[in-house]
Amino acid sequence: MSIFTSKNFKLLSNPLNLENPVTVQILGICSALAVTTKLKPAIVMGLSVMVVTAFSNLVISAMRNTIPPRIRIIVQLVVVASMVILVDQLLRAFVYDVSKQLSVYVGLIITNCIIMGRLEAFAMGNKPWPSFIDGIGNGIGYALILIVVAFIRELFGSGAILGYQVVPQSFYDAGYINNGMMIMPTMALVLVGVIIWIQRSFNKELIEKD
């Protein structure tokens, strides 16, 4: 079993673009709106989701032949929920300030559609290793969109990147002001819309025919 066959590599790269969970499958939008006012929480949220998708894919895939089909959704939920609780506890112990900013959204990873979607669609029918890669890929796909949105929102909403002021004071003296709209969730939705637009103008096969 090689680590990266071309098939496995596809599992990793497809979710970044053609099968992106946020912009193509439109999953996990609510947390994408909520945690993207600043870059740091967005990165931590992206990582947390990646860890949870990857490891719950791995665990579910390893157990897939022993899970009774009638209770499979419950089993998936139990696995996802315990992963999320672990992640939440770890964040609280080691990055307390970020865990405060993410507040309820870490807990809400449980209901993030990406995770259940990948478990049902992929992990239940594939071997553990490809499932793990699929989870990582989808986590990165989600994190990527969050980071792009958060970068733009923090830059224009607070004039900073990762908390460091990048818009010089002379700009403010000259009359520049931070865009308060960027801090509101509405702008995150608009930005995700713009990303989807750009993505589809480059990938014509994503455009629905009507």
Partner 1 sequence: MKNFSNNYTFIFSTIMVVVVALLLSLAAMQLKPFQDKNIEVEKKQNILASIRIKSTVKNAVDLYSKYITDSYVINNKGEKQEGVAFDVDLKKELGKPASERVLPVFIGTLDNKTMAYVMPLRGKGLWGPIWGYISLQPDLNTVYGAIFDHQGETPGLGAEISTEWFQKPFFGKKIFKDSTEFVSVKVLKGGAKKDDPHAVDAISGGTITSKALEAMLDSCLVQYKPYFIKNRHQ
Angle of helix 6-13 versus helix 128-158 axis, rounded to 10: 30
Which positions touch partner 1 (CB under 8 A)? 37, 65-71, 74-75, 78-79, 82, 85-86, 89-90, 92-94, 96, 103, 180, 183-184
Shorter beta-carbon distance to partner 1: residue 86 or 198? 86
Q: Provide, rounded to whole angstroms, the least separation between the CB of residue 65 and partner 1.
A: 8
DSSP assignment of 72-105 equals HHHHHHHHHHHHHHHHHHHHHHH-HHHHHHHTHH
CB of 187 to partner 1, least distance (A): 12
Nearer Cβ to partner 1 (103/203) = 103
Give every CB contact of residue 150 below 8 A, 6+ residues apart in sequence.
Answer: 35, 36, 37, 38, 39, 41, 42, 43
DSSP-derived secondary structure letter, 3: S
Q: Which is nearer to partner 1, 24 or 55 (CB)?
A: 55
Minimum gap (Å) between residue 139 Cβ and partner 1 = 21
φ, ψ (nearest 5 deg) of residue 163: 90, -10
Taking the complex as a whole, how short is the minimal distance between the CB of residue 63 and partner 1, in angstroms? 9
Contacts of the segment 194-201: beta carbons below 8 A, 24+ positions apart: 195/23, 195/145, 195/148, 195/149, 196/23, 199/17, 199/20, 199/23, 199/24
Nearest partner of 145 among 181, 96, 196, 93, judged by Cα: 196
| Closer CB to partner 1, 24 or 98, in the complex | 98
Task: Tell me the closest approach of the beta carbon of residue 144 to partner 1, in angstroms.
Answer: 24
Query: CB-wise, 21 or 151, nearer to partner 1?
Result: 151
Instruction: Output the smallest distance, CB 195 to partner 1, in A.
Output: 22
Cβ proximity to partner 1: between 96 and 202 the closer is: 96
